[in-house]
Amino acid sequence: MRSSYHEELDGIIEQLVHMASLVETAMHDASESLINADLTKAEAVISGDAQLDALHEELEYKCLSLLALQAPVAGELRIVVSAIRVVFEFARMGDLAAHIAKIARLRYPEHAVPKDLEPNFIEMARIAEQMVQLAKTTLSEHDAEEAMKLAKVDADVDGLRREHFQVILDENWQGTVEDAVDVALLGRYYERFCDHAVAVGRRTIYLVTGAAPTGEDWPNA
């Protein structure tokens, strides 16, 4: 009975890693759809978000069932509690990738990103993918040391976000109000995506060590 219980705990972590892989693909394709005005990839991300929502519900139900039926303690309890939060973070990351794809679809066949901000968004997309990859690896390998790097990488996204406002508020900018709204929304979606990746890292550190990191680089997410 206890062996089956521990297999269930291991299975939850495996499903979370699988969910991270789906989120990684969603963000990659959403960014491709945005930068390249690729309608096919945008539609794939939007329709695929339902799979992430279904996994969210399935894993949350499993975790709550374990809490109710197995009364986990110590490290086991940390796994279950952390998993409940991590599955939420991944679901929100999937939602944000879908939001990016929806803007790409809305502006198709035009590009939603103004030319002068294209390099910025390409870099922002690269960092977002890097962060979800790192979140997945730290979760899979229970690597608290690597998880600590997520907050440092996230600082680069904040700098890119500030650049958006410098560009669209500059008196020489030639974009429309519609362009400015798209830039503001897209920047926010990437920023929040990365914030959720940091939260996954925080929960992974708690899972491994029993203590959550604190300080200005680690908001109470």
Q: Following DSSP, what letter does each residue of 44-90 receive, concatenated?
A: HHHHHHHHHHHHHHHHHHHHHHHHHHH---HHHHHHHHHHHHHHHHH
In a domain, 196, yes or no: yes
In a domain, 135, yes or no: yes
In a domain, 216, yes or no: no
| pLDDT tens track for 175-184 | 899 999 999 9
Q: Tell me the residue range of the domain where 47 lies.
A: 2-209
| pLDDT tens track for 190-220 | 999 999 999 999 999 988 888 877 654 555 4
Interacting residues of 26 by C-beta distance below 8 A, sequence separation 6+: 45, 48, 49, 52, 93, 94, 97, 98
What integer best gives the mean pLDDT of the chain? 90
In a domain, 221, yes or no: no
Look up residue 109 and give its amino acid.
Answer: P
**Is the pLDDT reported for residue 1 higher than 50?**
no
- 2 by Cβ neighbours in 10 Å (0-12 / 13-18 / 19+) ranks as exposed
Domain count, the chain: 1
Interior angle at CA 165, CA 43 and CA 88, nearest 5:
45
| pLDDT tens track for 81-103 | 889 999 999 999 999 999 999 99
In a domain, 214, yes or no: no
In a domain, 218, yes or no: no
| Model confidence pTM above 0.75 | yes
Long-range contacts of 60-68 (CB under 8 A, 24+ apart): 60/84, 60/87, 60/88, 62/8, 62/12, 63/12, 63/87, 66/5, 66/8, 66/9, 66/12
In a domain, 220, yes or no: no
**Token pair for 84:** 């409940």
50/8 Cα distance (integer angstroms): 24
In a domain, 109, yes or no: yes
Residue 99, CA distances (Å) to 68, 95, 180, 192 in order:
35, 6, 16, 11
CATH number at residue 41: 1.20.58.220
